[in-house]
Amino acid sequence: MKIYLILIIFTLSVSQSSGQEESNFNRAWGFNKGLARVQSGNLYGFLDSNFQEVIPCKYKWVGDFSEINGLAAFEDSSSLLGFINAFGDTIVPPLYDNFYFTWKSKEWDFNEFIYAKKEGKYGFINKQGKEIIPCIYDQTTQTPEKFRRGLVQMKKEGKYGLLDESGNVKIDFEYEYPFFWYDSKRLSSKFVTSLKDSFFDFIDIQKFKVFRTDYTNASDFVEGFSIVEKNGKDGFVDTLLQLRIPCIYYFAKEFNNGLAPVCNLDHKWGVIDTDGDTIIDFKFDNIDVFQNGITKVELNKKLGCLNEKGEVVVPIEYDEILCSSNKFKLEHIKVCKNDSCSLLDLKGVKVSTASYSKLYFIEEFYLYTDVLINETENYFIGNRDGFSYAINRKGKEINSIGSKQLIFFYNGLALIKNDKCGFVNKEGKLSIPFDYDYYWYYHFISGNSILKKDEKFGMIDEEGEIVIPFMYDYLEHFSEGYALAKINDAYYFIDSKKNAIKISR
């Protein structure tokens, strides 16, 4: 009842001070950089932290204020886009068809520029809203394009070239394919490659010098080697562009720890080292790139694992094997045979007697693993006899007290679901009872979890205490001190003291 009293007082004070009939917003969003987007009718604007409409609802659409440049994109009545600042001043006039933001990343040296489309052509805007690369270029195979090492590829009249951050053309528009860039996660070189007149060039992007070759294909450099193709056969060149391993293979894969899987002309796979010497004989139907010192091999439609010496770690008898991940280091090997799955250690020894009808690495099971994987206490989820079980990094099964569905452990709790949802701790004890109908995957990431009970949304903390009562038709997590909620057609911002402030015009 306390919350309702606050709502009534707030509504009355607004009505008395404004002297106008109150109307609800059609839609609201959470706070971002001190401002919250709102929609009134078909128009959009912003509220400040005092819930005042500081940027009027006059735009056909607005985006959030960007981490890149502190500006928000807007769409005017003619469906063109521009940028405003936090005061509502127009910084970039509405001239553009679309904006595509780039970002900084550990994997790439992305610069904080905005890829823009105007009158069907593409260019770049800097953080201040200045068009640094004019919108005169064609759409490439990758949208948005991104700066790498101070350069960006653009397309003109069907050919690709390289430009710098000032819009200067550094490599002419002569190339038929997008450029192959180096991957900074691996030992690499200063080269990019692309196709010109049926052959691949290597381009030194430090000196902007072009090296012509007679190769019909060329990859990026990994561990100092690029895979090249000549007369339909693969080989390897080094960073001096010397042919280190002749083009004699039907197919080749990249090096890892000095070893590369290659396929001979008899369509059998083996492994060679950086001198081209055979390390694993050519007798397999397929071999994966090595990771963590092991690789998956296929022979006669069965799978197994070998170590870097070619010794069998996992017998070649399984229907499915997972021993590597694109993003994360695996500490165990998943093997499946005859609809039964289990876990082995990296030496091929079974870590427990448990078997499962299905066994999921958390990267396979959960969409947002890149955010959560390093925070979770488990990394496999197994299904057995209709129930789900978490498996920790030691390969030990965590009791989930017979739940039909388990969503991974986080901060010591896992969400479990039968007909209702609850939470179990790492000791397998029910910590929060099966009282809830619905859950969000992001449980307890900010210390709270949004759940649904009796058709209404609310929020609980890790102790099961109610943070926000179960009375809302819609609810979001806290952002900048407020959680956005909705009852019927009215939106509210809820603070940490459970006060709900209705927003209206």
pLDDT at 9: 29
The secondary element (H helix, E strand) that includes residue 317 is strand 312-318
Contact 478, 36 (CB under 8 A): no
46-to-62, 87, 115, 378, 407 alpha-carbon distances in Å: 9, 10, 25, 41, 36
User: Which has the higher per-residue pLDDT, 405 or 207?
Assistant: 207
Contacting residues for 488 by C-beta, under 8 A, at least 6 apart: 473
Averaged pLDDT, 456-477: 94
- In terms of average pLDDT, the best of 380-384, 412-416, 497-501 is 497-501
How far is residue 38's CA from residue 473's CA, in Å, rounded to a whole number?
Answer: 18
Averaged pLDDT, 407-433: 82
Contact 481, 31 (CB under 8 A): yes
Least confident window among 39-53, 156-170, 369-383, 411-425? 369-383
Contact 150, 118 (CB under 8 A): no
Averaged pLDDT, 42-54: 96
Ramachandran area for residue 80 (φ above 0: left; ψ -120 to 50: alpha; else beta):
beta
- Report angle CA 408, 346, 362 to the nearest 5 degrees: 15
User: Which has the higher per-residue pLDDT, 103 or 305?
Assistant: 305
Contact 154, 147 (CB under 8 A): no
The torsion angles phi and psi of 274, rounded to 5 degrees, stand at: -70, -10
Instruction: Check pLDDT > 60 for residue 371.
Output: no
Residue with tokens 């003291």: 497
Contacting residues for 19 by C-beta, under 8 A, at least 6 apart: none
Least confident window among 272-286, 322-336, 400-414, 465-479? 400-414
Averaged pLDDT, 435-453: 81
The pLDDT-based confidence of 14 (bands split at 50, 70, 90) is very low
Helix/strand/coil percent split, the chain, to 5: 5, 55, 40
Averaged pLDDT, 340-358: 89
pLDDT tens digit string along 16-46? Answer: 333 445 678 999 999 999 999 999 999 999 9
DSSP letter for each residue of 17-44: HH-S---B-SEEEEEETTEEEEEETTEE
Contact 449, 441 (CB under 8 A): no
Computed over every residue of the chain, the mean pLDDT equals 85
314-331 burial, b for 16+ CB within 10 Å, e for fewer? Answer: bebebeebbbbbeeeebe
108-144 burial, b for 16+ CB within 10 Å, e for fewer? Answer: beebebbbbbbeeebbbbbeebebbbebebeebeeeb
Tokens of 171: 């490599």
SS3 372: helix
Contact 98, 115 (CB under 8 A): no
Tokens of 498: 């459970």
Contact 397, 389 (CB under 8 A): yes
The pLDDT-based confidence of 2 (bands split at 50, 70, 90) is very low
Ramachandran area for residue 34 (φ above 0: left; ψ -120 to 50: alpha; else beta):
left
Instruction: Check pLDDT > 90 for residue 161.
Output: yes
Instruction: Check pLDDT > 60 for residue 346.
Output: yes
Least confident window among 209-213, 219-223, 224-228? 219-223
Residue with tokens 């807007």: 74
The torsion angle over the Cα atoms of residues 378, 382, 388 and 393, rounded to 10 degrees, is -20
Strand pairing report for 405-410 and 413-417: antiparallel
Euclidean distance between the first and the last CA atom of the chain, given in angstroms as a whole number: 25
SS3 282: strand
Query: How many Cβ atoms from other residues are within 10 Å of residue 47's Cβ?
Result: 22
Q: What is the 3-state secondary structure (H, E, C) of 454-478?
A: CCEEEEEECCCCEEEEEEECEEEEE
pLDDT at 147: 83
Residue with tokens 């769409």: 75
Averaged pLDDT, 394-412: 74
The pLDDT-based confidence of 89 (bands split at 50, 70, 90) is very high
Contact 182, 157 (CB under 8 A): no
The pLDDT-based confidence of 382 (bands split at 50, 70, 90) is confident
pLDDT tens digit string along 100-123? Answer: 865 443 333 334 788 899 999 999
CA dihedral (323, 325, 329, 332) positive or negative = negative
The torsion angles phi and psi of 333, rounded to 5 degrees, stand at: -115, 125
Q: Please state, for a pLDDT cut of 90, what percent of the chain lies above it.
A: 57
User: Which has the higher per-residue pLDDT, 382 or 189?
Assistant: 382
Strand partners, 83: 73, 92
Contact 456, 437 (CB under 8 A): no
Instruction: Check pLDDT > 90 for residue 372.
Output: no
Instruction: Check pLDDT > 60 for residue 330.
Output: yes
pLDDT at 187: 41
User: Which has the higher per-residue pLDDT, 360 or 364?
Assistant: 360
